[in-house]
Amino acid sequence: MLRGGFTQERQTILLIGPNEPSFWEYFRNSSEYKDSLPDPMDRWSKRVIGEIASDFNSKAVYPSDGPPYAPFYTWAVLSKNAFVSPLKLLVHEDVGLMISYRGALILEQSIELPVTSEKSPCEACNEPCLSACPADALNQASYDTDACKSYLGASTGQDTCFKRGCLVRISCPLSPKNGRYEDQTKFHMKAFLKL
C-alpha cells in the first residue's frame, strides 16, 4: 500500500507499507512464510514489490538491503505523510506509530501524488507514548535496545509487549485502528530478538 511519496530531481520515490491487518493473511499464505528459510518477510517483500517495480518500470529499494542502507527515515519525513514523533520514532498521519515500510519504488519521472496533511498528528496529541514503555527503554533522548530485549525476555515482557506489541507504538491514538494479530506481533518480536 502506498504510505507516502515525494518527487525530487525528476524522480518520484514511493514508500510501500503493509495494509494492516489484511496484509498478515496474505503473508501467512505465502511460500516464503511456509518454507522455514531465514528472513521470510524480507524475501516476500522483495518478491512482491519487485514484481510491482517490474510492472511500473521502476527500481525497487528495500530497508533490509545494506550497508549502505537506503534513507527510509528521511524519505518518510520528506513524504510529509510521516513525521518525527517526540520519541524520534516515525509517526504516520494514518497509522500512527505502527508505520512500517517494506520497500520503495523509484520512478525516473515526476508523478502527481495524493495531497498530504503536512501536519504531524503529534501536534494535537497528549503524547501517551512518552510514558508508555514499561522497560523505560524508550524516551526522548534515546532508545536502549538492550533494556527492551531484556524486558521482552522476562515473563512480564512476554505477557505484554511480546504478545500485544510494543506498548509505546500501540499507545499512539492512531495505532488501534491499525492493529496486528497476536501471531503477527510474535513474529516481529522474534525477529527483533533474533529467535
| Proportion of the chain above pLDDT 90, given as a percent | 86
Condensed to tens digits (0 to 9), the pLDDT of residues 146-164 reads 999 999 999 999 989 998 8
**If you ran DSSP here, which 8-state letter would residue 176 be given?**
G
Cell of 162: 511480546
Element (H, E) at 161: helix 161-164
- State the pTM of this model: 0.93
Cell of 44: 516476500
DSSP helix/strand/coil, 8: strand
Condensed to tens digits (0 to 9), the pLDDT of residues 98-135 reads 999 999 999 999 999 998 888 999 999 999 999 999 99
Condensed to tens digits (0 to 9), the pLDDT of residues 33-62 reads 999 999 999 999 999 999 999 999 999 999
pLDDT at 155: 92
